[in-house]
Amino acid sequence: DSGVTQTPKHLITATGQRVTLRCSPRSGDLSVYWYQQSLDQGLQFLIQYYNGEERAKGNILERFSAQQFPDLHSELNLSSLELGDSALYFCASSVEASGAKHNEQFFGPGTRLTVL
Amino acid sequence: DAKTTQPPSMDCAEGRAANLPCNHSTISGNEYVYWYRQIHSQGPQYIIHGLKNNETNEMASLIITEDRKSSTLILPHATLRDTAVYYCIVRGPYNQGGKLIFGQGTELSVKP
């Protein structure tokens, strides 16, 4: 158990719909990352938040957005869903503090999204 | 970010050492080598990281060549539960964190 929680575990929805994925980081971790894993693209970085602020963006579509709340949990919003958005979505957290002993990322169990 | 090259698949007999190679010939002086693994469709799991010295922890050992252009992850006594995809990742300074760029990894199959 990494200490990172993600809900829901599975999500089945239809094209054109909107969904929200939730991530709770490990206690004390300030940074949250979102990754997408699809069969054809592998594991890809989407976006990073640090202490409530967006820090880095990867290959995130404009239909996707994310935010990190004051309690440090994060949500990834996916809208106008397409069949190709079907994938595993992982959240990872790390402390990201200068001088911290452990800055590696800890991954949650993922949310499997199926768009029909 | 520097790129890495790994063999797509490897087999290892249970109880034997698994040696997973990684080439990172364009690594910069302040970039670290990280290893993660992903068992089935679970979230990737951190294994080990290093800069230039060899490192060992309870999971594995990491051997980095002197010129830092390649490294080897060693699982000393592989078990069936070590069957997974192993990712070698080059990343900026340890204390700066930052995104992980995953390649295709090596699919390790540990066989009885």
Length of chain B: 112
Residue B3: pLDDT band (50, 70, 90) is confident
Angstrom distance (rounded) from CA B102 to CA B96: 18
Nearest CA in chain A to B39: A109
Residue-by-residue pLDDT tens, chain A, 116 positions: 889 999 999 999 999 999 999 999 999 899 999 999 998 888 999 999 999 999 999 989 999 999 999 999 999 999 999 999 999 999 999 987 666 655 789 999 999 999 99
- Of all residues in chain A, the one with the smallest CA distance to B35 is A104
**Which pLDDT score is estimated for B16?**
97
pLDDT for the residue A40: 80
Question: Which pLDDT value is given to residue A41?
Answer: 81
Q: Return the higher-pLDDT residue of B53 and B11.
A: B11
Contact criterion met (CB below 8 Å) for B73 and B83: no
DSSP conformation class of B95: G
Chain B residues closer than 8 Å to A112 by CB: 41
Distance CA A107, CA B12 (A): 26
Tokens 């190679």, residue located: B21
State chain B's mean pLDDT as an integer. Answer: 92
Residue in chain A closest to B47 (alpha carbons) equals A104
pLDDT at position A37 is 96
Q: What is the pLDDT of residue B94?
A: 58
Which one of A42, A98, A109 has the shortest CB-CB distance to B43? A109
pLDDT tens for B28-71 read: 888 889 999 999 989 999 999 998 989 999 999 999 999 999 99
Using the structure block, give the residue that is written with the tokens 């699919």.
B107
Find, among B31, B26, B18, B30, the residue nearest to B86 by Cα.
B18
Residue B18 has which token pair?
């698994």
pLDDT value, residue B2: 56
Mean pLDDT of B63-92: 95
Amino acid at B19: N
Chain A residues near residue B85 by CB distance under 8 angstroms: none
CA A10, B80, B45: angle at the middle one, nearest 5? 50
What band does B96 get if pLDDT is binned at 50, 70 and 90? low
